[in-house]
Chain A
Amino acid sequence: MEQEKKLSEQESLVLITQMINKAKNSYHDTGIGAMMWGAVIAICSLVRLSEIHFGYRLPFDIYLLTLVAIIPQIYLSIKESKERKVKSYDDSYMNYIWLGFGICIFLLIHTVNNIFSDWGSWADKFKEVTGTSATPGFYEYIAPLFLMLYGLPTFITGAACKFKPMLWGGLFCWACCIITVYTTIKIDLLLTALSALSAWFIPGILMEKEYRLYKKEQAQNV
C-alpha cells in the first residue's frame, strides 16, 4: 500500500469500509475453552445422575472437576491473550461478562451450600410437626438457578458476536430452566448436561472448525 497515493472521496470510503471489515473479522476464538467447559459440566451432571440412578457414591464430589478445570482455563486464557495481535472492545466486555458469570456461580454455590447445611434439620422438624415424610432435598430446586445463570453470558456472547449456535444455546438453557422447575432431580441433571453441550460444547466445536479454516486461509495468504 502506497502512503501518498491520492484518494478520491469514493476510494476513501471504500478503503474505510474494507479496513473496518478486516478489523472486525480479525479474531477467531479457538473454541477450546467452550468445548472444555461444556464437556466438564456435562460429565459432572451425568456422573451425578448415574450416582443417584445406580445408588453408588464416588469417593469425591464430581463437581470438584469444575475447580480443576480452572487451571487449564487460566493457561488457555494466558496463551490465547499472548498470541493475539489485536484487542477489540467486544473482547474486553466479553471477558468481564464471563468473569462476572464465574463470580455469580461461585456465590450461588456458596449460598446454596450454606442454606443446604441447615436443610436437614428443617426437613426433620417438618416431619416431626406434620407427621408426613420430609419434603424432597434442597438440590431438587437448584438446577433452574444454575441454568438461568448458564444462559445469560451464553446468550449475550451469542448475540454480541453474532454467533447463532451460542445464542440458541443460551435460549436452550433458559428453556431448560423453566422445565426443570417441574421435573425430578434426575431429569434436571440430564437437562443440565444437555444444556452444557448445546450452550458450550457444540458451539465450541463449530468455533474450532471456523478457527481452523481461518488459520488455513491465513497460511495461504502468506
Chain B
Amino acid sequence: MFNDLDPILHSQLRLAVISLLISVKEAEFTFLKEKTNATAGNLSVQIQKLKDAGYIDVVKQFKDNYPQTICKITSKGIDAFAQYVKNLQTYLGK
C-alpha cells in the first residue's frame, strides 16, 4: 500500500527549498535563489505556497536599508518532509 506523495512537496523547486531549509536554522531569500538557480519571481511564488501550507515561516525586514526575506522551516514543515521521505522510501522499495 503506497501513500500519495504530498503534492505541496512533490514539485522540484518547493522540494529543493524545503530540503535546503531542513538542513539550516534559517536562510535568506538570496541564499535559496543562489542554491536553487531559480528566478526571483518563481521562487517567491513557491515560497508563498509553502508558507500558505504552514511549512515555512517567512520574515520580511530591512537590513542596511535593503529589504531582507528570511525563511525558516516550521515543525509542520519538518513533519511533512519526514513523511514525504518515508513515503518516498516505500515507493523506492517496491
When the two chains form the complex, which single residue of B20, B26, B36, B91 contacts A87, counting CB atoms closer than 8 Å?
A: B26
A20-B22, A85-B28 known; 17 other A-B pairs, CB under 8 Å? A1-B42, A3-B11, A7-B11, A10-B92, A15-B15, A15-B19, A16-B15, A19-B16, A19-B20, A23-B27, A26-B24, A26-B31, A26-B35, A82-B64, A85-B30, A85-B31, A86-B26
Which secondary structure dominates where chain B touches chain A?
Answer: helix
Shortest Cβ gap from B30 to chain A (Å): 6
Shortest Cβ gap from A160 to chain B (Å): 15
Instruction: Check if B92 sits within 8 Å of A1, measured CB to CB.
Output: no
A-B contact pairs, 5 of them (CB 8 A): A3-B14, A3-B45, A19-B15, A23-B24, A82-B63
When the two chains form the complex, which single residue of A5, A22, A85, A89 contacts B12, counting CB atoms closer than 8 Å?
A: A5
Q: Which of B24, B45, B85 has the most CB of A within 10 A?
A: B24
Question: What count of chain A residues pass the 8 Å CB interface test?
Answer: 28
Shortest Cβ gap from A48 to chain B (Å): 41
Shortest Cβ gap from B27 to chain A (Å): 4
Instruction: Check if A20 sits within 8 Å of B23, measured CB to CB.
Output: yes
User: Which residues of chain A are near B42, meaning CB under 8 Å?
Assistant: 1-3
Tell me, yes or no, whether B10 is within 8 Å of chain A by CB.
Answer: yes
Tell me, yes or no, whether A217 is within 8 Å of chain B by CB.
Answer: no
